[in-house]
Amino acid sequence: MSPTIALSQDLTENKSPSRFRRIWNRLVVKPIKKQLTKGTSVEKVALTMAVAPVISAFPVLGTTNILSVIVGYILKLNIPFLILFKSLFYALHVGLILVFIRTGENLNGVENIPFSIPELLSKFKADPTQFAKDFGMTALYGIEAWALITPWFAVLFYFIFLRILKKYQARKNLTKEQSA
């Protein structure tokens, strides 16, 4: 059986959920439902879900968990849920580092540095102090671009997630009332 036939059967037959759907339910749907059933407000869950991809896009490798803890503490969010939801966007983090760095460099009118992840990693391993001197400003340019761009997405995501969660909550309450 070809993979496309198997995939289409998974999508059309509801007998057993596809592997993707099982993973999606375990990593996304269940934690969201758990937050809502344990008394967390829809607004807090939507805020956590909106902030997570923004934090995930922070353009400095190895800093997003620390940033999650700080933001979660300040906004009084569920930090483990924030970190879990943020981890779903890891590819976004890696993919946008160069975008934010180039945008920051262009905003500041500086020359673009040559950017190769393996080369940067080897320079960091060879001498972290020299690496910080050579690329510290570049990281700040990336952070500047991130700080200018991502808050708008957080606002957009917040209202999208809030609407989805309120519809879910209303449907859940309607179902609860009908069964009572």
Q: What is the pLDDT of residues 114-131, one digit of tens each?
A: 877 788 788 888 998 988
Q: Higher confidence at residue 30 or residue 7?
A: 30
pTM for the full model? 0.75
- 93 to each of 4, 96, 137, 162, how far by Cα in Å? 30, 6, 19, 23
Say yes or no to pLDDT of 17 above 80: no
Percent of the chain with pLDDT over 70: 87
| Distance (Å, whole) CA 11 – CA 18 | 7
State phi, psi for 68 to the nearest 5 degrees.
Answer: -60, -45
CA distance 55 to 151: 10
Amino acid 92: pLDDT: 85
* Cβ proximity of 85 and 54 under 8 Å: no
pLDDT reported for residue 180: 59
d(C-alpha 17, C-alpha 23), whole Å = 10
